[in-house]
Structure 1
């Protein structure tokens, strides 16, 4: 898979080797990193992806993706699935951008593309969460069509579901 392309972004599926470089903070020279990349959330996501690969092998296309700007090729964040669909066809997602590019609609654009891709793959529902204080992330999920379904003292939980996912 070459990646998911949007108007302004490429969602590049990370290989285990690329994820290891993100964790180590060592670019390989083929991709330029925007200032601040990888952020702590990118490193945590890459570590989780590597752990998943170690347990069950590379889960692509339900793995980690690096968000790259089409205009300059810079990696500006990450998003992806926390693993393949569960027995009910559902997946959980996560995402993040470096602070220097936040507020430009990149996260919403990337999440919409990932949701469309998940639906085309037969996924029946996608779940995500955000800290209660992270209003920007809550807005991203709402803008992408996800609905608030629950909350607790720490997190707000979002979900989108499709009766016929491949339509």
Structure 2
């Protein structure tokens, strides 16, 4: 799966500038932007501030907190000048997205304290699309952004939003700016960058709906894989995750994680949950390794890491796993990770780990 974040961001910025350029002769300072408290001009400057903030964090590999600087416009800068700043800062973020290695993450508070290049691209796209919509409403314009740019954002940072009939109305509904038939109005919302957990030799990277969809149809999901690539279980798990997303049942931290080896940034397998915790606090977990990575303890290391994260949550009381009777390797992994066999028959063995 190719890194298209820069391209989608360029499209979003170009569409925004093209629309707003038709109204640069209007008074942006005296007109409020849609339902915001800001003026149209303040909102446009905010877009540029987001772009330069995201680009600087990503390019600077900022691990925690914000950089202590901002942007300011020269006195007398008109609306056309503001648009040029938006275009220029959007170009900076697009360039940073293109140039940043896949594994790099930088600080963003919502909700897991970091984002990768796809996350920053999706956040930038969301900022420019939504705030251009706000400005357009204030100025009495109609905005219809590129569908591919909208879909890029939805499938990267809105994994809990069930797809609607079209991407743009879905994003507007998800951010409290529109309505969708059969869905309650949204009054509070938050985007979700993927959760990442670390162990000694591995990084467990939460798989986005976009990556899952690519894996399910035979792609690489945006990862470089060890050996012969994803094993059958990973592709099946990705397909299940896509179905959960399409049905609106996916919860960001309860999906699938790619197991990426730190030393060479190669994905060696996947591990994940079958869904969020049940009412009794039990959650089922499964895993899969490429053949070339088996026998090195990666599955045990990842299972210990993901189990510890899950059991530290108040809504989880136990983890559950199933394995075929003949799969002794998987049974040894579960035993080393602290699981206890609680049931066995001719078809499967069941294991549990309690908090």
Q: Same fold (TM over 0.5)?
A: yes
Alignment of 1:18-167 (within 5 A): 18-27=211-220, 30-122=222-314, 123-162=316-355
Output the CA distance in 1 between the equivalents of 2:239 and 2:302: 21
Instruction: Tell me by how many angstroms 1:36 deviates.
Output: 2.0
| Aligned-residue RMSD, C-alpha | 1.2
Which ranges of structure 2 fall in alignment gaps of 5 or more residues? 1-111, 113-194
Runs of 5+ in structure 1 lacking a partner?
Answer: 163-167
Report the structure, 1 or 2, having the larger helix content.
Answer: 2
Deviation at 1:37, TM superposition (A): 1.8
Q: Which has the higher strand share?
A: 1
Q: Which has the higher contact order (CA 8 A, sep 6+)?
A: 1
* Residue in structure 2 matching 1:8, options 184, 201, 208: 201
Q: Deviations over 1:97-137 (max 9, x none)?
A: 00111000000000000100101222100000110000000
Q: 2:320, 2:352 within 8 Å by CA — same for their partners in 1? A: yes
CA contact (8 A) 2:220 2:230 kept: no
Moved over 6 A (4+): none
Larger-gyration structure (1/2): 2
CA distance, structure 1, for counterparts of residue 229 and residue 312 of structure 2: 30
Hey, what's the Cα distance between the residues in 2 that align with 1:27 and 1:37? 7
Q: Secondary structure at the match of 2:292?
A: helix
Q: Secondary structure at the match of 1:61?
A: helix
Query: Contact (CA 8 Å) 2:270, 2:289: kept in 1 or not?
Result: yes
Report Cα offsets for 1:43-65 as digits up to 9, x if no partner.
01101111122223431211110
Q: What whole-Å deviation, never above 9, does each CA across 1:14-64 have from its counterpart, x for those lacking one?
A: 000001111122236x53111222111110110111112222343121111
Find the residue that maps to 1:66 and give its secondary structure: strand
Return the alpha-carbon distance in structure 2 between the equivalents of residues 56 and 143 of structure 1. Answer: 35
- Rounded to whole Å, the distance in 1 between the matches of 2:272 and 2:220 is 20
What SS is found at the alignment partner of 1:56?
A: coil
